[in-house]
Structure 1
Amino acid sequence: MPASPREEDVLTARELYRFYRAGEEETLALRGVSLRVRRGETVAVVGPSGSGKSTLLGCLAGLDEPSGGEVRVDGVRISHRPETERARLRALHIGVLLQTRNLLPHLSVRDNVRLPQRAAGRKPVTSARELLAQVGLGERMDALPRQLSGGELARAGLAVSLANSPAVLLADEPTGELDGETERMVLAMLRDRAAQGCAVLIVTHSAEVVRSADRVIALEDGRTTAATAPAGGAVPAEVSDATG
């Protein structure tokens, strides 16, 4: 990867390493991964199970600390800081969209969106009511997650990830359990966010997601093995037409 960030690079990672130890056993989950995502760009990260994709996303989001290397968002280093500082920076700069666990079950959809807005400690650019209206859930604001359909849950999770108008949106298999129509709807919303200047990185096994990306980064055994522009080209072998 290029050694120096450019002005339009919103997310940069340099030489990320992540080691796990269990007794005398050591697992190398990431082995010197570097990447960058520009403003308005959508990047798909693909690779077989166990290749380090979710570990990479956790380090990029500040949910996990790399054993070596650093992550910067909008020029601000978020790695190698106390968890409280990482949480504050994540609330200010990063939206995280997970396949599951994006919503707290005991809170209404509106309160789930308000929660990260309060954590950021500043007045939100877009209110929870407005965000939910944008994703088609204006009439479901007071519903609990268990009262939502699969498609509604996906849209509610997206609203939570966009609560603070993040510079970077990181998504981990966001369409893995969705039907084709709902997947296309979520992808359309992600593309719209990128068009507004957000840097979007998606960890995925979905061929549809890969086709919609500007670039594809492939991981294998904790290392980047390729970076390609799909733009109507072939889908990498690591990706199947199944969304799981």
Structure 2
Amino acid sequence: MKDTIRIFKRFFEDQKRDIKIYDSSVVEKGNVTFFLMREKYERKMVIIYPSRNPDDVHKNFIAEEEGKLNKALNYKIYSCNDQNASELRKQLPFTRPQVIGLTPAIGTGDRVGLATPGHIRAVRKLGVFPVLALQSIREMKRTFRSPQDVMNDVSWAVFQEGYRDGFAADADHLKTERDIRATFEAGFTMYTIDPSDYVDDEADEYDLKMLKEKFEQLPWSDLACDRKDLFEMYLEKEFK
């Protein structure tokens, strides 16, 4: 693997192209080598594979450049776009989020898509499970990002840092079915529903009579349960 990277570096040096390889991203799958590099200010993915009997793992990526390093090795260069991020998660499973379960975790929440490598380095020192993709729909709108953008940025960062200890993705402050679908399709593994539009902020000040009236006025048909069901689900129950 080191020889392959050295050949690639020398090839580009001979072409007078200024590149930086993220050494922590280098990974082998079968007879194919994956890694990330930066050329000028743009991060790109590189796949190096044998000229003879090439593995098919790279066939669904969309390349922007390809060529021969020598008689034995070919290379392809890819932009870090949506299609390639989606295929990356299929080929390298450590770049896709996991269901967190009851594992102790910490949410990071990279709001602009640039800070995740630093977050990964921090959690490595702490030994906690990170929720790397963590952003509310409101924040996405304000930063002109989509759920897919958030997921893709995290996947590329995990690949860049060679982080294989797992991470989760929390779609935060969800208020509409449309937002839930968008985050589900992007691959989020945790969903935080925001019911604040339906919360009566004055409830703490109501007397018992008013509370009973408000309770009776709840939209029971929309809730798909009746009063008895609600009592059975929550009354005198302990939740941890």
TM-score by length of 2: 0.24
Larger RCO (alpha carbons 8 Å, 6+ apart): 1
Look at both structures and tell me which one has the larger radius of gyration over its CA atoms. 2
TM-score by length of 1: 0.24
